[in-house]
Amino acid sequence: MATAKKAAKKSAAKKPAAKKTAAKKPAAKKSAAKKPAAAKKSAAKKPAAAKKTAAKRKPNAAFMKAMQPSSVLAAVVGAMPMPRTEVTKKIWDYIKKNKLQDSVNRRLINADDKLKAVFGGKGKVSMFEMTKLVSNHLK
């Protein structure tokens, strides 16, 4: 019995080694087979991308509606009615021009006197909170 167990262990030890060499050969074949398939997939994706550019998205009417900024916000972005998207762009232009973005945490905005009035007296505001506070100044 002891010899049967030893023989079983030896054959079990030999089988994985045989499988490893057999597994390496099909893997090489698969990688060679994948290259033409990858070329076919990328070729198939290109027409799909062309379809996406052909059908342009329409902007949401709510974002494009001209809103009147309050007098406090008008000091930063101007007094003319403009869409929310333009208001946000102009505020970011003002922030970058005056270097009001926090140097350590870029998500924070250090308000100067004009922006403090817009932000409700807060000295530091996150960029996500900024849009909420600005929307209070649009009619």
Token output for 48: 């799909």
Q: What is the pTM of this model?
A: 0.57
Residue ranges for the chain with pLDDT beneath 50: none
| pLDDT at residue number 105 | 94
Burial class (CB in 10 A: 0-12, 13-18, 19+), 87: buried
| pLDDT at residue number 94 | 96
The answer to whether the beta carbons of residues 70 and 80 sit under 8 Å apart is no
In this structure, what are the phi and psi dihedrals at residue 125, rounded to the nearest 5 degrees? Answer: -135, 140
| pLDDT at residue number 27 | 56
The answer to whether the beta carbons of residues 111 and 98 sit under 8 Å apart is no
